Amino acid sequence: MRLVIATCSVDYLGRLTAHLPLATRLLLVKADGSVLVHSDGGSYKPLNWMSPPCRLSVAEPSEVEAAEGTTAVWVVLAGTGRGPKAAAATPDQLRIRIHEVLHDSSHDLGVDPGLVKDGVEAHLQALLAEHITTIGPGYRLVRREYMTAIGPVDILCRDADGGHVAVEIKRRGEIDGVEQLTRYLELLNRDPHLTTGGPVRGVFAAQEIKPQARTLATDRGITCLTLDYDALRGADDPLQRLF
């Protein structure tokens, strides 16, 4: 990745036009070919950019541009990269008129492993299985990912009375999750090995449960459980809170 801090003006030309007056900005040239123009505000969103495939070239300024203080002109043409997308060339171009370069460096960032989210459903499932009594006193884990003909139930456990309970876990509990658990329950309750202690009950567990999903679950006899991820992983003890 190349990082350039420069005093520049920027024009986007093509299907639409946009102009950024002269100011000091951060110019990012990424390994994928994209060019982004950032200011010191606006969070992550660039002021203007050109997505790949595109090609960056540096041209000498015209006499008029040179008279105005331009030392170089970056011309970024869209749709001129390699591969099948190159055929979809457009007349769009990004013209960056550089007046003064304050910083110019290049860095090899390597291959990014991607975002690993904390608190995803797999983490919640593992933590809830480890702390199964979060659902209720006397609960015992039967197994995680209990397979059915239509997919795996996140957790199958037994309550204090020995009855089976199917638990569906979501980060955000919505109506689709309730419908999914309902289908699992219909199938599980056809298995006589699981209903010896009574019908298989359902628990819909999530960090946040939408009101509509809670209403539907309650109407179908499904218990809703709001999960506290920090408490499950031992990072927060609800009993030690002041409020």
Query: What tens digit of pLDDT does each residue of 8-36 get?
Result: 999 999 888 999 999 999 999 998 889 99
DSSP conformational letter for 69: T
- Where exactly does CATH 2.70.180.20 map onto the chain? 2-106
Does residue 74 contact residue 98 with C-beta atoms inside 8 Å?
yes
> How would you write 43-89 as a 3-class SS string?
CCCCCEEECCCEEEEEECCCHHHHHCCCCEEEEEEECCCCCHHHHHC
pLDDT at residue 59 is higher than 50: yes
Residue keyed to tokens 């869209």: 78
How far apart CA 33 and CA 26 sit, in angstroms, is 16
Residues in Cβ contact with 46 at an 8 Å cutoff, skipping those fewer than 6 apart: 28, 36, 37, 38
Count CB-CB contacts under 10 A for residue 88: 9
Going from the C-alpha of 7 to that of each of 102, 103, 226, the distances in angstroms are 8, 10, 52
- Name the nearest CA neighbour of 204 among 128, 123, 126, 148: 128
- Where exactly does CATH 3.40.1350.10 map onto the chain? 121-240
Count CB-CB contacts under 10 A for residue 82: 10
Query: What tens digit of pLDDT does each residue of 215-243 get?
Result: 999 999 999 999 998 888 774 454 554 54
Query: What tens digit of pLDDT does each residue of 73-130 get?
Result: 999 998 754 544 444 455 789 999 999 999 999 999 888 776 555 547 888 899 999 9
CATH number for the domain whose boundaries are 2-106:
2.70.180.20
| Residue 188's pLDDT band (cuts 50, 70, 90) | very high
From the candidate CATH numbers 3.90.420.10, 3.40.718.10, 3.40.1350.10, 3.30.1360.30, the one assigned to the domain spanning 121-240: 3.40.1350.10
